[in-house]
Amino acid sequence: GAGVSQSPSNKVTEKGKDVELRCDPISGHTALYWYRQSLGQGLEFLIYFQGNSAPDKSGLPSDRFSAERTGGSVSTLTIQRTQQEDSAVYLCASSSQAGARTEKLFFGSGTQLSVL
Amino acid sequence: GNSVTQMEGPVTLSEEAFLTINCTYTATGYPSLFWYVQYPGEGLQLLLKATKADDKGSNKGFEATYRKETTSFHLEKGSVQVSDSAVYFCALSDLTSGSARQLTFGSGTQLTVLP
């Protein structure tokens, strides 16, 4: 597609359930990022994929969070045993200039996750 | 560590008013600085950027100058329009600290322009 696509756009779940969030980056972009935007907070880096390199998971807040990127394209962010504090907008971004000083990120519209 | 502090919102202006959204940063190295914009219902978009001191980024009538001496990157526009209503994020990327992959964002400033 023309832009970064995320699904679902909204997800309501019960505390303790697992959720999967999907990101479809721009075709040909080798770098993929997941961010989290909590209410009133800035964007928080979660994880970064670049080509076939090992992902940078340094931003994941706990071991309940994991992410995969299959075939260097689509990525799935999984949150196990969700907690109310996981409620946020989860944003995915992709880039073709990973690590460049003028790297430009293209963001999806995000998934609004609400944990009841 | 790196951090970005943005002017707290929300900001409400009348059409054709002058806009300033303040942004200051703390970084261990020599960061690149960015302003991103998020229009209602859309994803974040890069608005403008500056990669070294005294650079001025500009786009769509918006400007921001990289001021190393004051560690600031304030966003300005001389005459806002209703269509500028959005959330604006200041961000930095610091290559020298090895965290190039990790943009650090401010908390965002909601701008509403009234006709």
Q: Could you give the C-alpha distances from A69 to A20, A55, A73, A76, B44, in angstroms and in order?
A: 13, 9, 6, 6, 21
pLDDT score of B97: 46
How far apart (Å, rounded) are the C-alpha atoms in residues B23 and A65? Answer: 31
Say if the Cβ atoms of B43 and A45 lie within 8 Å: no
Q: What percent of chain A has pLDDT over 90?
A: 58
Residue range B17-67, pLDDT digits in tens: 999 999 999 987 778 899 999 888 677 888 999 988 999 999 999 999 999
Is residue A104 within 8 A of residue A95, CB to CB? The reply is yes
Chain A residues with CB under 8 Å of B41 CB are: 109
Q: Could you give the C-alpha distances from A85 to A15, A41, B5, in angstroms and in order?
A: 10, 13, 23
A4: closest chain B residue by CA:
B43
Residues from B contacting A (CB-CB < 8 Å) are 4, 6, 32, 36, 38, 41-46, 49, 51, 89, 91, 93, 95, 100-108
